[in-house]
């Protein structure tokens, strides 16, 4: 059985009782997935289920920013009519044993080809609701365990260079990684990009998407901000896991600009590859260098 630390268990019970969900945890069940935080399904005496995640070393504000991102995605789905499930963040806190976040539990279901189609449409609807004139977010957050600066900027190319590529490149170079000059050439060559400021999930790999028992696609673990919607597309294609129906449905609703395939996919994937270099070391360095090389060759 998954062990929920005693102080976190007590804190969750207090919040659940205050919300009328139940006053006592009846059982704790392990949940597959997750490489950064611990997670479990909690069954309460009020017949309610929660998903609780915790991390003994979580930096201050990490789970608060996740709750904020989930709320933004959930609100966007409602506003646009997108058929997308996003768990409600119910409570969060911190004890001597770590920070924790309690979410609505969404029972998983069996994926089907229609799941990819539904998710592609839903994401396109959320991206198509762009209405802001600046890129970024009202707070910083995290990509994995790495801080992600979201200080707003009116120019997308500047934001991508100064808030995404350069901070990660500086971080990995402190460990003598990604020293090839091609990375500098990319940073200097990023052109003006007239792109709308869409609400992004921000970390859309296959592990952060699933289908509920009711057949609705669901998204979790966001790193939200406003940016080019193609950033989410680029992340889905970096490690795979999304079927052709996802991209066909997205393109049908919103279209995919030729510039995405020409160079922006590599440019956006470069950020996530640098993140992986930072998190996991040199095993991702060659892939990052190859992406940078393709961008530099296209833009030179």
* Positions marked catalytic: 203
* Spatial CA neighbour of 166 closest among 300, 292, 299, 260: 292
Q: How far apart are CA 150 and CA 152, in angstroms?
A: 6
Q: How far apart are CA 209 and CA 260, in angstroms?
A: 22
């Amino acid at each position: 059985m998954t062990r929920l630390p005693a102080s976190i268990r007590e804190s969750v019970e207090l919040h659940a009782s205050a919300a009328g969900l139940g006053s006592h945890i009846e059982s704790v069940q392990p949940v597959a997935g997750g490489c950064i935080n611990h997670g479990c399904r909690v069954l309460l005496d009020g017949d309610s289920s929660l998903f609780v995640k915790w991390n003994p070393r979580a930096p201050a504000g990490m789970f608060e920013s996740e709750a904020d991102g989930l709320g933004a995605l959930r609100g966007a789905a409602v506003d646009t009519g997108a058929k997308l499930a996003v768990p409600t963040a119910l409570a969060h806190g911190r004890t001597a044993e770590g920070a924790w976040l309690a979410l609505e539990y969404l029972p998983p279901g069996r994926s089907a080809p229609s799941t990819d189609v539904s998710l592609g449409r839903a994401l396109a609807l959320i991206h198509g609701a762009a209405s802001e004139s600046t890129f970024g977010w009202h707070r910083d957050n995290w990509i994995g365990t790495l801080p992600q600066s979201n200080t707003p900027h009116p120019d997308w190319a500047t934001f991508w260079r100064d808030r995404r590529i350069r901070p990660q490149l500086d971080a990995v170079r402190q460990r003598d990684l990604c020293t090839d000059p091609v990375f500098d050439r990319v940073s200097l060559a990023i052109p003006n990009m007239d792109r709308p400021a869409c609400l992004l999930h921000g970390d859309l790999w296959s592990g952060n998407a699933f289908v509920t028992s009711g057949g609705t696609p669901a998204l979790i673990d966001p790193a939200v901000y406003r940016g080019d919607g193609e950033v989410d597309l680029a992340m889905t294609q970096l490690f795979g896991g999304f079927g052709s129906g996802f991209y066909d449905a997205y393109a049908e609703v919103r279209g995919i600009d030729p510039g995405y395939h020409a160079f922006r996919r590599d440019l956006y994937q470069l950020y996530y590859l640098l993140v992986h270099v930072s998190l996991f070391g040199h095993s991702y360095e060659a892939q990052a260098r190859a992406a940078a090389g393709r961008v530099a060759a296209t833009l030179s």
